Structure 1
Amino acid sequence: MRVHVADHPLIAHKLTYLRDQRTDTPTFRRLTDELVMLLAYEATREVRTASFDIETPVTATTGVRLATPKPMVVPILRAGLGMLDGMMRMVPTAEVGFLGMVRNEETLEAHTYANRLPEDLDQRQCYLLDPMLATGGTLAAAIHYLVERGADDITAVTLLSAPEGIETLRERVAGIEPPVRLVTGAIDERLNEQGYIVPGLGDAGDRLYGVV
């Protein structure tokens, strides 16, 4: 598994305000949207393309467009929904699937409760969206879920990651064949006893949508 930290001043700037507990929900949503657009630029560096002949106002030339089958963007419910608009602004022709996963707060293991994905993801590049890579269990389970359906290239995009989560993810995807990449805005210090990232930004889902 390859890990890419998108080290850029604008990303660090936006992350700082996302971390600030004084940032209200509307601002948090907007900053998340902007930050994901920056991360999407990095995450799609290896998106598949095909040659495409066009006519400019001056002459004929050859450019590129996204290859078929189109990329599949998969936000992990519910917090991943807050990253979807930013990703789709950068890749508007991508298709979207949804994966519902919940972490057991006692065992810290992830369980799938819903999915809206094609049964066959053969030859599909998939982009998983989840704001926080904490323990790594949710993303690992989601990656295996996509591999079982035939995905042959997977990139996970997160706002923040914990070192423990990265190592867990690396271990759990080591045996699978498709290439796996992680693109993240920052790697934080550690996890606390409750499995939350430190310093982190709190519960991303609650800050995006309110406490439920």
Structure 2
Amino acid sequence: MATNDFKPFATGAGANVTAQAEWASLPTLFTGFQSGKASSAQVNKAIRQASFISAALAQYVANKTGQNVLDDGDMAGFIAKLVSGLGKDFQPTDATLTNLSGKSVAGLLSYLGFQEGNDWVKMPSGLIIQRGTFGYNPGIIEQNVTLQRAFTSNNYGVTMTWSDRNFDGTSTSPAPASVAIVATSKKPTGFRAWQNGAGGYNVDYIAVGY
């Protein structure tokens, strides 16, 4: 266990110190002890108040750093140990905290690398997730789709599903058509989508990539 040379004074049971209520109203607090004989209880109280705090602070430093806190007059050395001890419990100010200070939620997300736009989000890793909707008019089997945000390459994935279909309501709802991407059409900015039905419906999609 680390050594702490700083000890509290007059902390034992029945110590000869002035009572707190009397000490708090003592004129000596403002003027200090004047010439003549001082009350030992008052002197002990003054020493105890100062030594109690210094001993407690020194013990905190010793506990946190595991280093000896010696009564050697080395103020710079003690301050270094104090800063090290505080660092065990409190995050020291650094460039990161300075950059985060005072930022709004949007500013914090931007600093962390999150971005967002109309129907897309970008993660700190660079992963982009986006969504969209497009439609096939009756008789149309292929449709060009422009992405909300361009990817960096053609190496992204797209999932498509039926969104809705218009029909007159007097007949049975038509079965879903198959939908797929024309593989050779994929570009960072978009793709060409194919379907094998009669058209007249919309498709929702989610695209994921970098």
For the aligned pair, the TM-score class normalised by the smaller chain equals under 0.3
TM-score, normalised to structure 1, is 0.19
Specify which structure has the bigger relative contact order, considering alpha-carbon pairs within 8 angstroms and separated by 6 or more residues: 1
- The structure richer in strand per residue is 1
TM-score by length of 2: 0.19
